[in-house]
Amino acid sequence: MPEGDVVWLTARRLREALKGRVLTRSDFRVPRYATVDLRGRTVLDAISRGKHLLVRVEGGLTVHTHLKMEGRWQIRRAGPPPRDHRVRLVLANAEWQAVGYSLGVVELLRTDEEAAAVGHLGPDLLDPAWGPELAAESVARLAEEPERAIGEALLDQTRVAGIGNVYKAEVLFLRGVNPWTAVRNVPDILGLVQLSHRLLEANKERHGHITTGELGRGREHWVYGRAGRPCRRCGTRIERAEQDERATFWCPHCQPVGARPAP
């Protein structure tokens, strides 16, 4: 599933292509909205909220989409829409068209009812208003389940929005915390949240999630996707295991805190 920085960049590209322009095509290829026609309406904005995308349209309407595991938006010059069974939505104007492939969620909401789709989310790590208050709220939400494994808690978008499996593994490595450590035993949750914010912020305007500071292929991550290979810091073999039905990666030497998974 795309991380929050990927969704943020997608929102920016949708905004650049659609905002302030009148829709000349709105093609909803999902049964529930097959008859919806937004042509003639101006797009007012396109924003991300955690891993959700909200395209606000004149008339108090919002197109809500979520990429889930395989979804993506592609921006291309205006022209005939693609004939592709994976296309779920096309929004176009005289210059550009935005084509949504394999979108996990497509729905139309009243703009004043957006909370029905995103109101459950925790603070967004890429919220322009990010600061001490939102960081403190994130810590408080994580602390509401003190016995929960931190590796699971970080992926819960109702605690803090934007972290996916890559950043979960990388942030925990950089903070020296084992993924199975209970939230109550994490020594500095605020520092962990703030590091998550800094990493997403640093990567939001480019493809890929660089956490090592190295741009070379295969050098981008500390532990994610590196099971069986030596830790870049200590040489210990990187481990991989399932956690809450998602793969997680860690270094047993650099991340010794907390219980290990059962063999």
Positions annotated as catalytic residues are 2-3, 51, 246
- Tell me how far apart the alpha carbons of residues 56 and 110 are, in angstroms, rounded to a whole number: 9
Minimal CA–CA distance to 63: which of 18, 16, 122, 124?
18
**Beta bridge partners of residue 249, listed in sequence order:** 240
In 111-193, DSSP assigns E strands to none
Residue holding tokens 């949504």? 100
Q: How far apart are the first and last CA of the chain?
A: 27
* DSSP summary character for residue 235: -
Residue holding tokens 């994610």? 224
Minimal CA–CA distance to 239: which of 182, 151, 187, 169?
169
Q: Which amino acid is at 234?
A: C
Dig out the tokens for 223 from the structure.
């532990």
Minimal CA–CA distance to 163: which of 187, 255, 9, 172?
172
Q: Which amino acid is at 19?
A: K
Residues 6+ positions from 142 with CB-CB distance below 8 Å = 150, 153, 154, 159, 160, 183, 189, 193
